[in-house]
Chain A
Amino acid sequence: MSGKVMGTRVVRKEDARLTTGRGRYTEDVQLPGMLYAAMLRSPHAHAVIEHVDVSEAERMPGVVKVYTGRDLKGRMGPIPTAWIPPNSDLKMVEHPALAHQHVRYVGDGVAMVVASSRSEAEDALEAIRVDYRPLPAVHSPLAALEKDAPQIHEDAPDNVALHWTVGTPVEEAFRKAEVVVKRRFRQQRLIPNPMEPRSAVAQYNASTGEMTLWATTQNPHIHRVLVSGILGIPEHKLRIVATDVGGGFGAKIACYADEILAAYAARDLERPVKWTESRSEHFLTTTHGRDHVDEVELAGTRDGRVTALRVKSYANLGAYLSTAAPGVPTILFGLIVNGAYDIPYASTEVIGVFTNTTPVDAYRGAGRPEATYLIERIMDAYAQEIHMDPVQVRQKNLIKKDQFPYTNPFGLTYDSGDYHQALDRALAKLDYPALRREQEALRRQNKYIGIGFSTYVEMCGLGPSEVAGAVGFQGGLWESALVRVHPGGKVTVFTGASPHGQGEETTFAQIVADRLGLPMEDIEVVHGDTDRIAMGWGTYGSRTTAVGGGALARATDRVIAKAKTIAAHMLEVPEGAVEVEQGRFHPEGQTDRSVTIQEVTLQAYLAWNLPPEVEPGLEASAFYDPTNFTYPFGAHVAVVSVDPETGEVRLLRYIAVDDCGPVINPMIVEGQIHGGIAQGVGQALYEGAIYDEDGQLVTGSFLDYAMPKARFFPRLELDHTVTPSPHNPLGVKGVGETGTIASTPAVVNAVIDALAPFGITDLEMPLTPPRVWEAITQSKGGRVS
């Protein structure tokens, strides 16, 4: 029998295949007779399609068929939106899989070639002639709202996609405020860039009408619902498979035109069809993230108490409404702009805007990084305004331990926490007073370091479903688990969550191993296949362990309950008098007489002598719906140096103290935090999508769009506190997004702190060398052009 594995650094079960090249990602699927699809994409940000001529392309070698938007019009449903926030006046504009009249962003699909090979498909794209009549384009959300801006959708006057307000009245608090601090923050647009490009392989069996679609998705069951609706394939004949998915970060939540088109072609041609995007296509067509302009006002007292917060946000949603897009800048952002602080009054107004850009949807953190950035930045601005240390301002305003459960001004109930303790830990690790002294000394030598804080909280672990319904999410947010103990005592776990790098094949096995007293190798976790798993809602919003793990804990406990009944019968003692310990069932207080879980399981399947009313077999499922979100929190500190001559920022130290509740596998939790921090630092210092005046994406490859590299980072310093959430069986809070949410403002605060001697109080992200250099130069009255 194994010892306890919960809380230990178990090596991942996934890695045996992933480190030997034996993973099976969508693009790895090869089927006999398979064809390849390639998409022709609009080179214009905004244009009318006057004419499409595919005749030459159809004659190209290897070409099987060419589809245009006109060919498909009326033959499939539009690409849907699945989040309709109430009272947001959301404009549900039509999004055809292939454009038939208008193209609205560079990358919008215009035609699809299906050919015998990848190269022939690409060759044929070049033979398609399209006459476009270019229209004026607009790419920034503020410009799109101007009076004479180009109109992008007939059904969305003034390019307003949604208008939503929430919160408590703040006017009086602002009238009475001793101090008001105002800032306008730009949340630049980011490109998610999971390393696996999107891909789809579709296979249709005409004799049975069954379709199998391998797809790079974070939520195969949601895909089944959507694809079934779009293509009219009944859900019991549609199988979505997403076993190995190479990262998602939110960009693989959405239902995309490309996978629908591949499936359409496979059915139409009765041949398997593969489509895989290139990285260049990814930059243009896979959903982007962030892209807000946030106007923020904070009211407070001279002695450091925040009294009110007012936020007005302009959120760029791109050319169409992606699957979850409307919920990201509203529900996932507007409800938590007060962050970890006890602010009595707060309000958020959000205007969602259409532009001629790639659709924007969830990107790691989705809404919460934007909220955390603005509150953490304005807390620093407030501290500066009242000449108080940013740590002290935080300590004064952080929600106190005894205030939990804490209801924020938007009606969210924060579950549990000790925010001050996390900050204290970070300060101790940092040796804050010494570092401030060092900073002073260095400034005298014309050297600049800065210290930045971020004491964050986020809401995640999405459900509950009732809330999902209340906020307009067109689905449930519970999760399913089925635990099947096989006759020999091995276990298969089926989860409706769909991990794609987060390691739940291991953490879920750990949960089951300890409860059943079985070794890890006897437990297999199955995910990402709608034929093997009845239903589920997928992996995003740091929900997998909180909700999927909750379901699993419940299902496992049901298995144990049944096993106990059988064991009691076998041991000839009353049911209530059986204890279970490390896979052994014994009468209370009598450890010398016992039966093993394997013996019980065998009896369950043989069913020769079961207690009355007990059915044969040993498996249980659970459909677990949590009662609240979870609220991980922590304190992150960045220490940076700024080279005043080149403007280069270097990260010198990074300290992260996180509380995600009880830790199932510290190794995996740390890995999530590392990666999250890297992405957040990426936003602060390196990443940013740039469109030119014509709506062309200037940063369309890894040559221009700076992805974080190994050499950008020091070794990260991690610590944690443990405050269980009372809202799920495991007490876990989720850790997939915390690093990204926390780190961006920590780094920017550090840079602004470093630049204080120059009188610089804010800079737009990313804080690239030229941006920092320009600010320093201008502060000295110098010229930058």
Chain B
Amino acid sequence: MTERLSIRMMVNGQTVAGQVEPRTLLAYYLRDDLGLTGTHIGCDTSQCGACTVLMDGAPVKSCTVLAVQADQCHITTVEGLASDRVQRAFQEAHGLQCGFCTPGALMLSKWIVEQRPSSSETEIRDLLDGLICRCTGYENIVKAVQRAVRMAEEDAPETAVGREVSS
């Protein structure tokens, strides 16, 4: 039963290829096979969002995507966010405490900042529904998102992660 399938994807701008059991979840593939341990697993019912990564530019819960489903996709993890304004905004607004949900919070927030920048505070809170944070009471996560939006407005817009799939 331990059939293994070949997969190939672009992770944080680098092509990676490997063999996985079909049942391997993308989150475990990133963590165990690629050593990208920034992506965390906080629950087993697809609720908490700590494992959120960008898949072809869209935030997805990598604990509920099979690695084989991500074959040929572009994946961005928190490690691929290097020096992003969202990270800076989280630092400056104290949008994290223990840091465990933070990778997911950052990836979801990056999407909000880029795709839903005109959201009101209430709308931001609704968009954060796919995230459970036990430390911050969300207050400073909301402020971090707003701060990142402001930073984005002030700077030149950043290039969004491509949505197209290479083959």
Contact = CB atoms under 8 A, between A and B. Distances in A.
A15 interface: yes
10 contacts: A20-B38, A20-B82, A21-B36, A119-B23, A195-B50, A197-B42, A678-B138, A711-B128, A713-B139, A715-B121
Interface in A141-175: none
B140 A195 contact: no
Given A678-B137, A709-B132, A246 B91 contact: no
A440 to B, nearest CB: 28
Contacts of B43: 279, 701-702
B154 interface: no
Interface in B52-101: 77-79, 81-82, 87, 90-92, 94, 96-101
B59 to A, nearest CB: 15
A288 interface: no
Contact of A709 (B44, B79, B92, B129): B129
Interface residue tally on B, bucketed by range: 35 or more
Contact of A679 (B21, B23, B134): B134
Interface stretch (A22-30, A99-107, A314-322, A376-384): A22-30
A707 B140 CA distance: 17
Contacts of A503: 97
A19 interface: yes
A279 B129 contact: no
Contacts of B103: 21
B106 interface: yes
Nearest to B50: A195
A711 B97 contact: no
B99 A18 contact: yes
A249 interface: yes
Interface string B3-18: 0000000000000000
Contacts of B133: 195
Contacts of A739: 137
Contacts of B149: none
B85 to A, nearest CB: 11
Given A247-B100, A708-B137, A195 B128 contact: no
Nearest to A18: B99
A31 B87 CA distance: 29
A278 B77 CA distance: 22
A196 B96 contact: no
Nearest to B80: A21
B119 to A, nearest CB: 12
Contacts of B26: none
A575 interface: no
Contacts of B99: 14-15, 18-19, 23, 244, 246, 501
A11 B142 contact: no
A194 B137 contact: no
Nearest to B127: A710
B42 A710 contact: no
A500 B96 CA distance: 12
Interface string A707-743: 1111101011000000000000000000000010000
B94 to A, nearest CB: 5
A715 B140 CA distance: 10
Mostly, the B contact residues are loop
Given A247-B134, A702-B45, A709-B129, A194 B90 contact: no
B19 interface: no
A563 interface: no
Interface string A484-525: 000000000000000011110000000000000000000000
Contacts of B42: 195-197, 279
A194 B134 contact: yes
A501 B97 CA distance: 4
A247 to B, nearest CB: 4
A711 B77 contact: no
B121 A674 contact: no
A675 B44 contact: no
A500 B21 CA distance: 35
A18 B90 CA distance: 10
A195 to B, nearest CB: 4
A246 B99 CA distance: 6
Closest 6 CB pairs of A and B: A21-B38, A246-B100, A501-B98, A678-B137, A18-B99, A674-B137
Interface in A733-755: 739
A674 B122 CA distance: 17
A15 B47 contact: no
B82 A247 contact: no
A779 B58 CA distance: 49
Interface stretch (A86-94, A417-425, A473-481, A663-671): A663-671
B165 interface: no
Given A18-B99, A503-B97, A711-B126, 17 more contacts: A19-B90, A21-B78, A27-B41, A195-B50, A197-B42, A244-B99, A247-B98, A247-B135, A279-B43, A500-B98, A501-B97, A674-B136, A702-B132, A707-B134, A708-B137, A715-B139, A716-B139
A751 B1 CA distance: 57
Given A707-B132, A710-B138, A702 B47 contact: yes
Contacts of A27: 37, 40-41
A715 to B, nearest CB: 7
B134 A711 contact: no
A405 interface: no
Nearest to B121: A715
B131 interface: yes
A16 B141 CA distance: 16
B84 to A, nearest CB: 9
B29 interface: no
A703 interface: yes
B82 A19 contact: no
Nearest to A665: B94
Given A674-B140, A711-B125, A21 B39 contact: yes
A279 B44 contact: yes
A118 B28 contact: yes
Given A675-B135, A702-B47, A22 B38 contact: yes
Given A671-B94, A703-B45, A18 B129 contact: no
A177 B136 CA distance: 44
Interface in A660-717: 667-668, 670-672, 674-679, 701-703, 707-711, 713, 715-716
A667 B140 CA distance: 10
Interface in A1-53: 11-12, 14-16, 18-25, 27-28, 30
B124 to A, nearest CB: 8
A28 B39 CA distance: 10
A245 interface: yes
A415 to B, nearest CB: 27
A25 B40 contact: yes
A609 interface: no
Contact of B92 (A11, A244, A501): A11
B106 A19 contact: yes
B35 interface: yes
Given A19-B102, A21-B39, A21-B78, A710 B92 contact: no
B131 A30 contact: no
Contacts of A668: 94
B167 interface: no
Contacts of B140: 670-671, 674
B164 interface: no
A194 B122 CA distance: 25
A193 interface: yes
A15 B132 contact: no
Residue among B31, B37, B102, B135 having the largest count of chain A Cβ atoms under 10 Å: B135
A278 B44 contact: yes
B32 interface: yes
B113 interface: no
A24 B40 CA distance: 11
Contacts of B96: 15, 18-19
A61 B87 CA distance: 43
B46 to A, nearest CB: 9
Contacts of B101: 195, 246
A20 B45 contact: no
Contacts of B77: 21
